[in-house]
Structure 1
Amino acid sequence: MKYFYNFPEIPFIDRSVITIGMFDGVHLGHAKVVAKCVKIAKQKGISSVVISFSNHPSSYFNSKNESKNSLLSPDKEKIRWIESLGIDYLFMIPFDNYIAHLPAENFIEDILLAKFGINDLVLGYDNRFGFQRKGSVDFVNEHYSSQINAYSIDVAKIENEIISSSLIKEYVIQGNISKANTMLGRSYSLQGKVVHGHHKGRELGFPTANIELEDIDKLIPGLGVYISCLKVDGTPYYGVTNIGKRPTITQDTYISIETHLFDFQDDIYEKEVELYLFEKIRDEKKFNSLQELIEQISLDIKFTKSQLAKIHITS
């Protein structure tokens, strides 16, 4: 797959199948849309294209809505997951004043037809594009049916809930990682680097890998203790992760991400790692003493080890 951060200035592709959307999380609903796009392209022997955005449209319309810690999949992750679905070209354009006010007709004629030679358009059931969200499958069928075949993809559901990025975000914030994972179709993960912390975990007898996020836009799960797995140089190591402010020890003002790995002694400082989260086992709390904290961590580890046979990474 080739990806770009802006539209080409000249015609780029002769014929293509295109889908458009933010695709935050690239969840099972998104995968359903992209799969249709890829299938049509392969059947016709033409290119498949995803047009997405490098910033969330909501951050444009509401300047107070900062992107920090708000995305299920920042750019690097989105590129990774969309590529895994077999797309030929991905365009991650800025959602700016030009795009926000571009009429649907101009989007179709000046971009989709002129630059990409669009043959087919595939959209999710509720997806719209163009100024005031005028562009839709119905709009294309009404005005451009002689040039473009337009398809609407039905909703994807799990347990009667419509899969959506906003719902998955709610589950992640709540700490309901197992439900979020089901809707994503893979284990929610955090990418980052192992950095030095206060070394309090080592003093307590439970050394931890402190993870500094690679991208500040990444959504951090709700505070608490999670069954987890840390991939180091491609090798998975299981453990327990605390996401929180460590109220018993330091009462940090920032959120730390610390993972205690089972039977692991290697020095991995400055290593790039990926942390997979499977299940939240308890909320973070302040204990009356360090001894109480040590006893609880021991219980967390014992419980997590009892669950490992049921756990596996899906990516």
Structure 2
Amino acid sequence: MKYFYKFPELAFIEQSVVTIGMFDGVHLGHAKVLSSCVNIAKQKSISSVVISFSNHPSTYFNQSIENNGTLLSPESEKIQWIEALGIDYLFLIPFDQFIAQLPAENLIEDILLPQFGICDLVLGYDNRFGYQRKGSVDFVNEYYSQHIKAYSVEVATIEDEIISSSIIKEYLSQGNLPRANKMLGRAYTLSGSIIHGNHKGRELGFPTANLMLEDSAKYIPGLGVYLSKMKIGNNTYSGITNIGKRPTITMDQHISIETHLLNFDCDIYGEKVEIFLLDKIRDEKKFNSLQELIDQISIDVNLAKSILA
């Protein structure tokens, strides 16, 4: 897959099937849309194209919202998961004033037809595009049917609940990882590098690997202790991950992500890792003493061993 950060200035693709959307999280609902795009393109032996955005539209419409912590799948993850579904070209366009005010007609007539050679447009069941969300499957089929066939992909559900990025975020904030992961089709992942912390975990008898997120835009689940697995190189290890402010020790202002790996004692500072969050054990809590904290961590570790071993 090839990816770009702006629209081409000249004719780029002779014929293509295009889909448009934020695709944050690239969850099972998105996969249904993207797979439809790929399948139609393969049937016609033409290219499949995704037009998405490098920042969440909410950060444009509400300037007080920073991009930090807004995305289920920041750029590198979005590229990875969209490529895995077989898309040929991905355009990650900044959602800015130009995009926000671009009429659907102009997107079609000035970009999709001349530059992408669009033959088919695939959209999610509730997806619209263009200024004031004027663009839709019905709109395209009514005004551009001579050039484009537009398709709407049926809604994806799990146990009668619609799969959406906002619902997944809600489950993550609640610590309901099994439900969120089911909608994603994979475990929710936090990626980054291992950095030095204050080494308090080692003093307590439970050394931890402190994660610096690869991308600050990554959405962080609710505070608490989680069953997890960590991938280091080609190896994966079981553990427990604490997401929180360490109220018993320091009550940090920022959120830290620390993982204690079971039966593991190697130096991994500087290593790039992936943490797969599986389920929440408990909420973060301020204990009355360090001994109470140690006792609770022992309980957490034993529970993790009984489930993950």
Q: State whether TM-score is above 0.5.
A: yes
Counterparts of 1:136-151 in structure 2, within 5 Å, are 136-151=136-151
How much has 1:127 moved relative to structure 2? 0.4
Distance of 1:165 and 1:219 partners within structure 2: 11
Partner AA of 1:68 in structure 2: N
C-alpha displacement of 1:263:
1.1
Q: Is contact 2:194–2:273 with CA below 8 Å preserved after alignment?
A: yes
Q: Secondary structure at the match of 2:247?
A: coil
1:78 pairs with 2:75: no
Partner letter of residue 226 of structure 2?
Y
| Matched letter for residue 154 of structure 1 | E
1:216 corresponds to = 216
SS in 1 for 2:201: helix
The residue that corresponds to 2:186 in the other structure is 186
Indicate if the aligned counterparts of 2:48 and 2:88 stay in contact, CA closer than 8 A.
Answer: yes
**How far apart, CA to CA, are the structure 1 residues paired with 2:282 and 2:208?**
18
**Pairwise CA distance, 1:156:** 0.4
Alignment correspondent of 1:16: 16
1:154 equivalent in structure 2: 154
Aligned to 1:172: 172
2:23 counterpart SS class: coil
How far apart are the structure 2 equivalents of 1:61 and 1:247? 35
Matching residue's letter, 2:222: G
The equivalent of 2:204 in structure 1 is 204
1:237 is paired with a residue whose SS is strand
Q: CA RMSD in A?
A: 0.8
Give the aligned residue type for 2:286. K
Alignment of 1:1-315 (within 5 A): 1-308=1-308
Work out whether residues 56 and 70 of structure 2, in 8 Å CA contact, stay in contact via their aligned partners in 1.
no
SS at match of 1:115: helix
Q: CA deviation at 1:234?
A: 2.4
Mark the runs of 5 or more structure 2 residues left unpaired by the alignment: none
Q: Is residue 240–residue 260 contact of structure 2 (8 Å, CA) maintained in 1?
A: yes
Q: Aligned pair count?
A: 309
CA distance in 1, matches of 2:255, 2:53: 28
* Counterpart code for 1:101: Q
Question: 2 CA distance for matches of 1:130 and 1:137?
Answer: 12
Q: Which amino acid aligns with 2:86?
A: G
Give SS of 1:291's match: helix
Distance 1:110 1:94 in 2: 18
- Aligned partner letter, 1:113: L
Percent of aligned pairs with the same residue?
Answer: 71
In 1, Cα distance between equivalents of 2:116 and 2:122: 14
Q: Distance in 2 between matches of 1:18 and 1:54?
A: 17
Taking the aligned partners of 1:302 and 1:43, their CA distance within structure 2 comes to 53
Alignment-derived partner of residue 313 in structure 1? none
Could you tell me how far 1:175 is from its partner in structure 2? 1.3
Q: Could you tell me which runs of 5 or more consecutive residues in structure 1 were left unpaired when the two chains were aligned.
A: 310-315
Which whole-Å deviations, capped at 9, do the CAs of 1:190-235 have from their partners, x for residues lacking one? 0111000010000010000000111110001100000001110121
- TM-superposed deviation, 1:75: 0.6
Q: Structure 2 counterpart of 1:232, which letter?
A: I
How far is the alpha carbon of 1:56 from its aligned partner?
A: 1.1
Distance 1:296 1:106 in 2: 60
Name the aligned partner's letter for residue 122 of structure 2: V
Tell me the alpha carbon deviations over residues 3-52 of structure 1, each in whole angstroms, 9 at most, x when there is no partner.
00000111000000000000000000000000000000001000000000
2:298 maps to amino acid: S
